[in-house]
Amino acid sequence: MKEIAVLGAGSWGTALSLVLADNGHKVRLWSHRKEQADEINQTHQNLKYLDVTLPSNIVAYSDVESCISGVKAIVIVVPTKAIREMCKQLNKSIEPSIPIIHASKGIEPVSLKRVSQMISEELDDYKYEDIVVLSGPSHAEEVALRHPTTVTVASLNSEHAKLAQDLFINESFRVYTSSDVLGIELGGALKNIIALGAGISDGLGYGDNAKAALMTRGLAEIARLGTKLGANPLSFLGLSGVGDLIVTCTSVHSRNWRAGNLLGKGHKLEDVLKEMGMVVEGVRTVKAAYQYAKEENVEMPITEGIYQVLFEGKKPNEVVEQLMNRSKREEMNDIAHLLYERYAR
Ligand SMILES: NC(=O)C1=CN([C@@H]2O[C@H](COP(=O)(O)OP(=O)(O)OC[C@H]3O[C@@H](n4cnc5c(N)ncnc54)[C@H](O)[C@@H]3O)[C@@H](O)[C@H]2O)C=CC1
Ligand SMILES: O=C(CO)COP(=O)(O)O
């Protein structure tokens, strides 16, 4: 049994706390809102985010310093936009030797930084190499029901990756390890853009053919950008690549899919985000990916189209027309091509 701090009491922080609690650990679940922490401790529920009763080995905190004091590992799972602010609070009291596992899926616009990069930038004395990312096809709602789920934990520090695997693995939550931090983080973040697209397509009333096309060509875009940045192309065929892409594009649990669905039905982004009431990471990540693609000269027409719908007022059906009328070309399966280039020649 270990004491573990989980920072971020939304859907995913609550579900990951349940996994740790099932494994016999004592969990300190931090919320930045005192009323939420009080409610969790009084009712043993966190109903706005997850419909589940929490066991007594999950205790909520609203003071970050006492939450992390003496713990054996810290799990960071706040929305990407809150990562820097959260780390600034941690900086005052964190011991640099404590393993950090993050489970947030996003890229910061403008700086184009991944979550592990932001964490290591904000925490003095904390090395990027030691951070672990946890990602994969894992909707909180199903994890809370103990439905079979698989994820990957990646770190350049293999000891930390193994420690994260040992903390979380159990009979309904299977955890693999990887050393490709870049690929695992990018796969988890970029699939949210394609899930917005899948939702838009469904909202427009297009069927399975269109969605399959978006997912396949979307994966090609993810892999194209990811490998350009140095990720291993094989990672995009794994749990945090194609696995997370499938689950997010096809599930009603996905907030990115649901937001896209409303956009496809003609609702305004501002109203959609109000209605969701939970984080829709793809909205910020598409800004970052669009900027990356322009700067690095990477062809990402689906990402560009979704950016245009979200931020340039383009109508979803116009974007579909634009995608369908691109110049004729040979199908190049980017991942197969990248693998061939890297391994077969
Ligand atoms: N919900 C899911 O099934 C999964 C979510 N994720 C990722 O986990 C991360 C968190 O997502 P969810 O828990 O689902 O979000 P959520 O929308 O359910 O909850 C977000 C939580 O963050 C808190 N928060 C908001 N601003 C904050 C700030 N400035 N400082 C500290 N806390 C703040 C909110 O009060 C809330 O408790 C995201 O990056 C998401 O992509 C990853 C895998 C699965
Ligand atoms: O990442 C997720 C499942 O793996 C959750 O996706 P949403 O943020 O779209 O709900």
- CA angle at 192 for the pair 289 and 296, rounded to the nearest 5°: 15
- What's the mean pLDDT in 57-66? 96
- Of 179, 195, 212, the one marking the end of a domain is 179
Residue where a domain terminates, one of 155, 179, 203: 179
Q: Residue 98, by phi and psi: left (phi above 0), alpha (psi -120 to 50) or beta?
A: beta
Structure confidence by residue, pLDDT tens digits, 231-251: 999 999 999 999 999 999 999
54 and 107 in a single domain? The answer is yes
CA distance 88 to 29: 18
Last residue of some domain: 120, 152, 179?
179
Whether residues 148 and 17 share a domain: the answer is: yes
First-to-last alpha carbon distance for the chain, in angstroms, is 49
Number of domains composing the chain:
2
pTM of the shown model: 0.97
CATH number for the domain harbouring residue 87? 3.40.50.720
Residue 215 above 70 pLDDT? yes
User: Can you give the pLDDT at residue 10?
Assistant: 97
Note the pLDDT of residue 92.
84
Q: Which pLDDT belongs to residue 345?
A: 63
169 and 24 both lie in a single domain = yes
Residues 191, 174 within the same domain: no
Do 68 and 170 belong to one domain?
A: yes
CATH classification of the domain holding 295: 1.10.1040.10
Question: Considering the chain, what is the average pLDDT of its residues?
Answer: 95
User: 200 and 128 in one domain?
Assistant: no
The answer on 137 and 35 residing in a single domain is yes
Of the residues 191, 268, 315, 328, only one is catalytic, namely: 191
Decide: 140 and 121 in contact? Cβ < 8 Å. Answer: no
User: pLDDT band at 335, cuts 50/70/90?
Assistant: confident
Q: Are 250 and 273 in contact (CB under 8 A)?
A: no
Residue 66 assigned ligand-binding role: no
What's the mean pLDDT in 143-159?
A: 98
The answer to whether the annotation marks 140 as part of a ligand binding site is yes
**Amino acid in the structure at residue 150:** T
Q: pLDDT per residue over 166-208, tens digit each? A: 999 999 999 999 999 999 999 999 999 999 999 999 999 999 9
192 and 166 in one domain? no
pLDDT given at position 339: 81
What the block records as the tokens of 11 is: 């859907």
197 and 142, same domain (yes or no): no
Q: Are residues 96 and 242 in the same domain?
A: no
Q: Taking residues 71-85, report their average pLDDT.
A: 97
In a shared domain, residues 246 and 127: no
Centroid of ligand 2 to alpha carbon of 247 (angstroms): 8
Helix residue ranges, H only, the chain? 11-22, 34-43, 64-68, 83-91, 115-122, 140-144, 158-168, 181-204, 208-228, 244-250, 255-264, 269-276, 282-296, 301-311, 316-324, 334-339
Question: What mean pLDDT comes out for the span 45-73?
Answer: 96
- The pLDDT > 90 percentage for the chain reads 89
The residue segments making up the domain with residue 203 are: 187-344
The ligand 1 atom nearest the CA atom of 9: 37
Query: How deeply is 85 buried, as exposed, middle or buried, from its count of CB atoms within 10 A (0-12, 13-18, 19+)?
Result: exposed
Using alpha carbons only, give the angle 98, 103, 109 rounded to the nearest 5 degrees. 110
